[in-house]
Structure 1
Amino acid sequence: MRFELTRDQRDFAASLDSLLAASDTAAVARAWADGDHEPGLKLWARLAEQGITMLATEATPVEVVIAFEALGKYAVPGPWVESAAFLPSLLGREIEGIATVAAPPHVPLALDADIADEVYLVADGAVRRATVGAIHHSVDRTRRLFEVTGEDAVESGPPRFAVDLGVLATAAQLLGLGERILADSVTYVKQRKQFGREIGSYQAIKHALADVRIALDFARPLVYGAAIDTSRLNASTAKVACSEAAYLASRTGLQVHGAIGYTAEFDLSIWLTKVRALVSAWGTPAAHRQIVLDSLVSTVSTGREA
């Protein structure tokens, strides 16, 4: 089957890319990490005007994937998965402002709960408004995680699809992060010279970057396949593939940048740390591999019984 984005979807992707490219998202991320949320909230409002917060209820998962790949590509901070994918799908409405949630076991802590307008806890099959507790810090300094305590229950739909959409949105972010790291790495190796020639001309560098390109190209159809058929198996498969591809991109990007890649002052660090955090967010690779394995075993067992 051949899958291509429609003209409207391509236009939507282009408009998001144009908006984010014109914004200094690295500066926004650094300010967010330092506790200055104003630039990030302004960007949030502009993205909300583009319709990102209503995609889960008014569009399809394909549009959700398009948006979250762009958010990942530009390392936009904030609880976007919670506000624009999981909670709208779970509550059946667009979120006004910023919302976050803890949904154990995959999401034990609530992201940016201290600035959220709505905070929820999903546990024991119920969705409850929640109060904010202790803070936990992430390797990604833009991610502040909070313990929450559930209070009164609210009406909601079944959580399964909402969880799958949250997992898929996180996978799309990882895909965008990997693409950005690869693009920046290719640009760098074309400029950096060693022994009188660009390091990108060395075969070892070419092969390493080609491996990243292949990994991302194999992950992308799994993401869009899961967007067309958002099942637990497909979402987990996409998350595993995107986690591996983005992590490979981050390791390779760090290697080809050399010592400068280790410095917190260099913008690459924003993308590297976000990859490391999102690899485990909304379910670890091990947890999602187990889901894939259980599904395959169940399918084989069912076939044998038939």
Structure 2
Amino acid sequence: MRFALDSSQQDFASSIDALLSKSDMPAVIRSWNRGDTEPGRKVWQRLAETGINGLLIGEEHDGLGADAVDLVVAVEQLGRHAVPGPVAETIAVAPHLLAQAAPGRLSALAEGSLATVATPPHVPSAVDADTADLVLLVENSSLHLGDPGVVQDSVDQSRRLFPVTAGQRLGAVECAPAFDLGALATAAQLQGLGHTLLEMTTDYAKQRKQFGKVIGQFQAIKHHLAEVAVGLEMSRPLLHGAALSVRDGSPNAPRDVSAAKVACGDAAYRAARVALQVHGAIGYTQEHDLSLWLTKVRALVTAWGTPSFHRGRVVDSLVGAS
């Protein structure tokens, strides 16, 4: 199986990276954390103009009609820059659900609206329901408009969680493929977050001095960073392989998505732990940009299915096939 991205996908990733690199994302995230979502919404609008919101929306509804591989390419870049807001929900989950039950709402999503989704039991709360233009709830194979409750605490201040109760019923849906898309998009975010943490930590290790030497020259630091790099490179084929399985409608897609979610989550978590160790006490402070990436990794590791759930799915699939 060939995992190399084609030139158009690489160019798409580069254009997203360039757009977000000019957006002062740490300032945008901090504003979002304080409840001022206007800078973040402006970033989302610029992203929508590149077609990201409409990746999985058909051309008849003003989308790009792309596939799961294009999805992970784009969302990994959003992870690299820790873009706040309901990323997986807006780009991956809501389009799939609305296409089944309320296709008339897809054009607004493609044009830049934000959507959030709760799919109990594995996704019991809707992210940023106070900011999203559309709040959805899947209950008993039915898609409903959701009514948000009282905000709940999250380890990541840019991910406000809301319990949701069912409102107007939009129609019947098959939720399992949408859940897999949410887990796949979250895995892509984690992959991107891990790479930025590795880059931030490597840059810091090249500057920070102890005992008259930059700490990046110490063998122990090199080993830690090498382990992070290996973990991220080993998780990438699983991520792309899962995207191919979803794109091709493989019966093994749920297993492959779970494997990617576990691998990308573990790699990003290792990157976060090593980043904190190398940065030392400064890494604990909210004033340092590192904290914005650390907390998002911690939150996304359990989003759209916990590691234990996804490991269980992989084991069940392998046992069933034996």
Provide the TM-score with structure 2 as the length reference: 0.91
How far is the alpha carbon of 1:259 from its aligned partner? 1.1
Return the match for 1:108 from 115, 124, 130: 124
Letter in 2 for 1:50: T
Return the match for 1:244 from 243, 246, 266: 266
Q: Is the 8 A contact 1:178 1:246 kept in 2?
A: yes
Secondary structure of residue in 2 paired with 1:148: strand
Is residue 63 of structure 2 the alignment partner of residue 63 of structure 1? no
Match of 1:145 in 2: 161
Please give the residue correspondences for 1:1-306 in structure 2 after superposition, counting only pairs within 5 Å. 1-57=1-57, 58-92=65-99, 93=103, 94=106, 95=109, 97-155=113-171, 157-230=173-246, 231-300=253-322
Partner of 1:226, secondary structure, is helix
Q: Which moved more, 1:100-109 or 1:273-282?
A: 100-109
| Offset from partner CA, 1:121-171 (integer Å, 9 cap, x none) | 112111111111111010000010001110221135422211111100000
Q: Distance in 2 between matches of 1:241 and 1:3?
A: 16
Paired residue type of 1:6: D
Measure the CA separation in 2 of the matches of 1:221 and 1:265.
Answer: 35
| Cα deviations by residue, 1:74-119 (Å, 9 ceiling, x for unpaired) | 0000011111100101212532511111101111000010122111
Q: Which sections of structure 1, spanning at least 5 residues, go unmatched?
A: 301-306
CA distance in 2, matches of 1:89, 1:56: 8
Listed one character per residue, the Cα deviations across residues 175-195 of structure 1 (whole Å, up to 9, x for unaligned) are 000000001100110111111
**Residues 90, 156 of structure 1: 8 Å contact kept:** no
C-alpha RMSD over aligned residues = 1.0
For the 8 Å contact 1:130–1:150, the answer to whether it is kept is: yes
Report the Cα offset of residue 221 of structure 1. Answer: 0.4
Q: Quick check: 1:240–1:289 contact (8 Å CA) kept in 2?
A: yes
Paired residue for 1:304? none
Q: Which residue of 2 aligns with 1:303?
A: none
Q: How much identity, in percent, do the aligned residues show?
A: 55
Question: More deviation in 152-161 or 2-11?
Answer: 152-161
Q: Aligned equivalents of 2:283 and 2:199: distance in 1? A: 15
The alpha-carbon deviation at position 7 of structure 1 amounts to 1.1
Separation in 2 of the partners of 1:79 and 1:19? 19
**Cα offset, 1:65, TM superposition:** 0.2
1:20-57 deviations in Å (ceiling 9; x for gaps): 11110111000000001110000010001110111122
Q: Secondary structure at the match of 1:152?
A: strand
Residue ranges of structure 2 left out of the alignment (5+ in a row): 58-64, 247-252
Q: Tell me the secondary structure at the aligned position of residue 122 of structure 1.
A: strand
Structure 2 CA distance for aligned equivalents of residues 3 and 298 of structure 1: 27
Q: Secondary structure at the match of 1:142?
A: coil
Q: Is the 8 A contact 2:141 2:173 kept in 1?
A: no
**1: distance between equivalents of 2:33 and 2:172?**
32
1:91 touches 1:156 (CA, 8 Å); kept in 2? no
SS in structure 2 of the partner of residue 227 of structure 1: helix
Given that residues 155 and 295 in structure 2 are in contact (C-alpha distance below 8 angstroms), is that contact kept between their aligned partners in structure 1? yes
Measure, in 2, the Cα distance between the counterparts of 1:236 and 1:91: 24
Q: Distance in 2 between matches of 1:153 and 1:234?
A: 32
Counterpart CA distance in 2 for 1:207 and 1:71 is 28
Aligned 8 A contact 1:65 1:168 in 2 = yes
The CA distance in 2 between the partners of 1:265 and 1:255, in whole Å, is: 17
